[in-house]
């Protein structure tokens, strides 16, 4: 029986049904193309490149001008005898050539690279100084004199010329089969990638994998790519391949070779789950950091026990073990450690010493959601981890959908300080590159945005109930089907909204079990159970805070509801990025705002406006020009205060605030549909029950307490 039909069996949804048939939903799981910005120019160049291969192959010399269409969901795949043939099977019969067909002169020229990268909206910039970017001349006296004379004669470059000088155009990755044929990654790793069904890389994979897997020196990277664009796979493949090569070259050296830092436990657990699929059979171990793990042997006698997440077993917490057993715990045997900042810092410092232990073997440091990790909330912990990685060849990668210029400046200064601390010469430094996909700090263009004025808290609750129970007579044209996420500003508001909505789904459709709330005050076990049920489809609607706003991948989310407006434009980009993952169409992002929110709406409205321009096509825009002109601008101090505390009206009221004006402001922000009379009756009932319990307790104590809890005097 269809559960959604049970939800809406008493309503007329002819209009909604026709809309659903015409527009696909993300929960159907059918993505037309994983690439968000693919254009005809890129298709022609890629077809021309593959056409050269077919021309050299006499068996495939049928029609050079005819380019086959890619079928990403063809289940009739021929058996493949190699990894490259397995990847090529989904691209049609025109590419049946094996690895040895590709010739040595198959590389692109500068014009082709530039055209493909620009058509996919990929921009790669070298962030080093211009003196470091320019090639060094031959070490002769004449060349040095010429260089000095040129410096004196050369005029200063303008800003545009400096930007052009910093731009680079690496060769893009057109297919995942090139990982094995061109970049010579581990055969087992290539098989694991093919087994996951990956054939056509997304934009971020198209640009970053050649940089991290190429023959040239591996650079430090800052990557800004849209949400759901495949960043996790982009940094896991190079990290795993690097460790496999290290195992072959130095089999006697064991320890933590790579560290992946994520801001939340949910995101760290997701990275481990994706990594397990890729490391199968490679000899590489990936571990989720837990309490008690021993990661270094420098002054960590009091560190607790090690728990290898790759084995999948939940070991007993080390806090329950005696102290004499903790000193004998061996170091973790993991190659890749995935952790949150505080947990790893505590393990390195053992919670008792001021000097932190080091991780001398780490070659790769990955920061997922780097703008949060280098925000003041996590900055000190993240920098401590960065400085504890003392290997001179260590490379760092910062990945996020939003990244301000302050993060870039902090990265450059930290890299220079680290080089000075390690005693590295400037000539031994490596490139620092920034790769941006699409427009920086913008929402993905394949979802629909709705900004709705609800006036009051009661109006927001009414609008949300209309989404839960759509009717043909509804004034709103939004049709949002479960599963979807609801974001609130604070934990108390999430709990209150959950208690208000949990009986809105009828018992025949599952009742209150279909709605859940997730926040950081829950235990790790409760959070894992809710996440598992939501992924399995047993929970349809999940009320949460910004705990799930970043990085977490839910495939098939039909939409996101911002019940409370986000604290910043970046938070909005990450919240709405939970839908429309991997290029899926049909996702909806609904944002409610009230009278108190009007001063903070303009930044969100600007992002929606830019996203709609990128989306293109005909139709009415949700953000009109008159609305953008009417909304007030927010000062820098107000933006900082909003980012730190959120909307003041929805903060947890203090005692002094409750006393002022009888607590009217706090009552106005309450999430409830109950009247004052109903609340008074409930309070009287609770008071009567409490008084009855006191009388029963007094009777059991021998009458020391009289009725209503008053003092009965002293006994003789």
Residue pointed to by tokens 């999940």: 542
Q: What is the pLDDT of residues 385-414, one digit of tens each?
A: 999 999 999 999 999 999 988 999 999 999
* 3-class state of residue 390 by DSSP: coil
Greater confidence (650 vs 21) lies with: 650
- pLDDT of 7: 43
Q: Could you tell me whether strands 258-261 and 286-288 are parallel, antiparallel, or unpaired per DSSP bridges?
A: unpaired
Domain 463-668 sits in CATH 3.40.50.300: yes
Greater confidence (628 vs 101) lies with: 628
State the DSSP string of 55-92: HH-GGG-S-SS--PPP-TT---PPP-SSHHHHHHGGG-
Q: What is the pLDDT of residues 511-554, one digit of tens each?
A: 899 999 999 999 999 999 999 999 999 999 999 999 999 989 98
Element holding 437 (H helix, E strand): strand 432-437
- pLDDT of 656: 46
- Please say whether the beta carbons of 478 and 589 come within 8 A: no
- pLDDT of 317: 46
Q: How much is the average pLDDT of 352-380?
A: 89
Q: How much is the average pLDDT of 560-569?
A: 94
Dihedral, 599, 602, 604, 605 alpha carbons, nearest 10? 130
- pLDDT of 508: 84
602-615 and 569-576 helices cross at what angle (nearest 10)?
50
- Please say whether the beta carbons of 365 and 394 come within 8 A: yes
Instruction: Report residue 630: phi and psi, to 5°.
Output: -80, -30
285 pLDDT above the threshold of 60: yes
558 pLDDT above the threshold of 60: yes
- CA 457 to chain CA centroid, Å, is 30
Instruction: Report residue 428: phi and psi, to 5°.
Output: -90, 0
How many whole angstroms separate alpha carbon 663 and alpha carbon 88? 67
- pTM, two decimals, is 0.79
Instruction: Using alpha carbons only, give the angle 128, 134, 140 rounded to the nearest 5 degrees.
Output: 135
Instruction: Using alpha carbons only, give the angle 576, 441, 592 rounded to the nearest 5 degrees.
Output: 35
Greater confidence (98 vs 115) lies with: 115
| pLDDT band of 21, cuts 50, 70, 90 | very low
Q: Which two tokens stand for residue 30?
A: 């059918």
- Please say whether the beta carbons of 366 and 397 come within 8 A: yes
How many whole angstroms separate alpha carbon 179 and alpha carbon 188? 12
Q: How much is the average pLDDT of 127-155?
A: 60
Task: Of 101-105, 186-190, 235-239, 597-601, give the lowest mean pLDDT range.
Answer: 101-105
Q: What is the pLDDT of residues 27-66, one digit of tens each?
A: 776 555 578 776 666 677 666 665 544 444 433 344 433 3
Nearest to 398 by CA among 363, 371, 423, 419: 371
- Please say whether the beta carbons of 429 and 217 come within 8 A: no
- pLDDT of 341: 95
Instruction: Kindly list the distances between the CA atom of residue 62 and the CA atoms of 51, 70, 86, 100, 676, in Å, as whole numbers in the listed order.
Output: 11, 18, 22, 20, 80
- pLDDT of 676: 64
Q: Could you tell me whether strands 258-261 and 364-368 are parallel, antiparallel, or unpaired per DSSP bridges?
A: parallel
Instruction: Kindly list the distances between the CA atom of residue 612 and the CA atoms of 171, 402, 550, 576, 582, in Å, as whole numbers in the listed order.
Output: 31, 18, 22, 14, 18
User: Does 114-135+159-437 match 463-668 in CATH topology?
Assistant: yes
Question: What residues does each domain of the chain span?
Answer: 40-106, 114-135+159-437, 463-668, 682-709
How many whole angstroms separate alpha carbon 536 and alpha carbon 12? 29
**Which superfamily is assigned to 114-135+159-437 in CATH?**
P-loop containing nucleotide triphosphate hydrolases (3.40.50.300)
Q: How much is the average pLDDT of 559-575?
A: 94
Helical segments of 469-523, H only: 491-501
90 pLDDT above the threshold of 50: no
How many whole angstroms separate alpha carbon 714 and alpha carbon 519? 49
Instruction: Kindly list the distances between the CA atom of residue 105 and the CA atoms of 49, 59, 109, in Å, as whole numbers in the listed order.
Output: 11, 21, 10
503 pLDDT above the threshold of 70: yes
């Amino acid at each position: 029986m269809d559960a959604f039909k049970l939800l809406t069996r008493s309503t007329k949804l002819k209009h909604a049904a026709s809309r659903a048939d015409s527009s696909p939903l993300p929960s159907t799981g059918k993505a037309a193309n994983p690439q968000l910005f693919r254009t005809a120019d890129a298709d022609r160049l890629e077809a021309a490149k593959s056409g050269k291969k077919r021309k050299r192959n006499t068996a495939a010399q049928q029609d050079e001008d005819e380019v086959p269409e890619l079928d990403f969901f063809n289940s009739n795949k021929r058996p493949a005898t190699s990894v490259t043939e397995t990847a090529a099977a989904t691209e049609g019969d025109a590419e049946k050539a094996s690895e040895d067909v590709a010739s040595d002169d198959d590389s692109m020229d500068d014009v082709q690279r530039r055209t493909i990268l620009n058509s996919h909206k990929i921009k790669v910039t070298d962030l080093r100084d211009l003196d470091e970017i320019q090639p060094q001349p031959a070490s002769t006296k004449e060349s040095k004199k010429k260089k000095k004379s040129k410096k004196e004669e050369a005029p200063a470059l303008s800003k545009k010329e400096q930007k052009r000088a910093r731009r680079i155009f690496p060769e893009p990755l057109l297919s995942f089969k090139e990982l094995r044929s061109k970049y010579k990654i581990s055969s087992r790793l290539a098989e694991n990638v093919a087994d996951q069904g990956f054939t056509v890389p997304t934009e971020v994979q198209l640009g970053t994998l050649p940089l991290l897997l190429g023959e040239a020196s591996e650079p430090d990277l800052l990557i800004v790519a849209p949400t759901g664009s495949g960043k996790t796979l982009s940094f896991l493949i190079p990290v795993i391949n690097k460790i496999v090569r290290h195992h072959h070259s130095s089999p006697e050296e064991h320890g933590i070779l790579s560290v992946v830092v994520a801001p939340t436990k949910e995101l760290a657990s997701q990275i481990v789950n994706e990594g397990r699929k890729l490391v199968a059979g490679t000899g590489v171990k990936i571990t989720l950091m837990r309490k008690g793990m021993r990661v270094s042997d420098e002054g960590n006698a009091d560190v607790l026990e090690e728990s290898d997440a790759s084995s999948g077993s939940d070991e007993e917490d080390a806090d329950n073990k005696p102290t004499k057993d903790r000193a004998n715990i061996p170091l973790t045997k993991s190659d890749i450690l995935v952790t949150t900042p505080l947990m790893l810092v505590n393990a390195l410092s053992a919670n008792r010493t001021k000097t932190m232990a080091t991780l001398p073997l780490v070659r790769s440091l990955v920061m997922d959601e780097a703008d949060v990790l280098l925000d003041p909330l996590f900055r000190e912990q993240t920098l401590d981890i960065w400085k504890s990685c003392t290997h001179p060849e260590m490379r760092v990668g910062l990945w996020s959908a939003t990244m301000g210029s302050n993060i870039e400046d902090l990265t450059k200064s930290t890299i220079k300080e680290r080089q000075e601390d390690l005693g590295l010469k400037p000539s031994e430094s490596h490139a620092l590159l920034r790769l941006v996909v699409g427009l920086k700090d913008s929402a993905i263009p394949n979802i629909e945005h709705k900004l709705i004025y609800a006036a009051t808290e009661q109006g927001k609750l009414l609008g949300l109930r209309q989404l839960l129970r759509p009717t043909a007579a509804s004034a709103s044209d939004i049709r949002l089907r479960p599963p979807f996420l609801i974001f609130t500003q604070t934990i108390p508001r999430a709990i209150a909204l959950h208690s208000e909505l949990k009986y809105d789904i009828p018992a025949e459709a599952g009742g209150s079990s279909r709605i859940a709330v997730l926040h950081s005050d829950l235990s790790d076990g409760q959070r894992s159970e809710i996440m598992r049920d939501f992924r399995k489809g047993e929970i349809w609607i999940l009320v949460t805070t910004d705990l799930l706003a970043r990085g977490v991948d839910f495939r098939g989310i039909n939409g996101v509801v911002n019940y409370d407006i986000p604290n910043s434009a970046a938070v909005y980009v990450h919240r709405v990025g939970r839908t429309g993952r991997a290029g899926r169409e049909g996702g909806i992002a609904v944002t409610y705002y009230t009278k108190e929110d009007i001063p903070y709406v303009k930044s969100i409205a600007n992002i929606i406006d830019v996203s709609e321009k990128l989306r293109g096509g005909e139709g009415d825009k949700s953000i009109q020009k008159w609305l953008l002109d009417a909304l007030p601008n927010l000062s820098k101090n107000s933006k900082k205060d909003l980012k730190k505390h959120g909307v003041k009206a929805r903060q947890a009221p203090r005692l002094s605030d409750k006393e002022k004006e009888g607590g009217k402001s706090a009552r106005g922000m309450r999430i409830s549909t109950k009247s004052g009379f109903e609340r008074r009756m409930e309070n009287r009932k609770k008071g009567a029950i409490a008084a009855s319990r006191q009388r029963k307790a007094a009777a059991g104590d021998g009458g020391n307490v009289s009725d209503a809890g008053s003092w009965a005097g002293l006994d003789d």
